[in-house]
Amino acid sequence: NDRHGHAVGDDVLRRFADAVRLNIREGDLAARTGGEEFVLVLRDASLPLATSTAERIRALFAESRVESARGRVTATSSAGVALAGEADEGFEDVLNRADTALYRAKNAGRNTICIATN
């Protein structure tokens, strides 16, 4: 949005939503929680399944191009993956661990995925 304007930003968000839609299963949940932040809830997913889903979305989105008045725009995504565990008191705990992993991914150079620790 800052570099290319809101119209292009909206196109990029739609492209990301397409990558998500192509890579989640029926019954999984995808929600936009903020400007550029999304949460995916994958029912009954193992850590390998959740990680591979996040990786497929990351790779597909990184390969995507958005044509705009300013030319071709590319973007990348970072993700934090967390599984619900016995120590979690609720969804907020899982979300906080995923968020911490997301910021590790961003600090590691972006366009990557980090797995949360319990």
Q: Measured between alpha carbons, how far is 117 from 29 in angstroms, rounded to an integer?
A: 22
pLDDT given for residue 40 in this prediction:
97
- DSSP classification of residue 36: S
Q: Note if the pTM is more than 0.85.
A: yes
- Active-site hit among 36, 37, 63, 67: 36
79 closest CA partner among 44, 25, 29, 39: 39
Confidence of residue 36 (pLDDT cuts 50, 70, 90): confident
pLDDT at 118: 75
Q: Active site includes 36?
A: yes
In 3-state terms, what secondary structure has residue 80? strand
Length of the chain: 118
| Percent of the chain's residues with pLDDT above 90 | 75
**HSE-CB of 91 using CA atoms within 13 angstroms:** 4
Backbone region of residue 13 per phi and psi (left: phi > 0; alpha: psi in -120 to 50; beta: other values): alpha
Residue pLDDT, tens place only, 5-21: 888 888 899 999 999 99
pLDDT band at 82 (very low <50, low <70, confident <90, very high): very high
- CA dist 4 and 10 (Å) reads 10
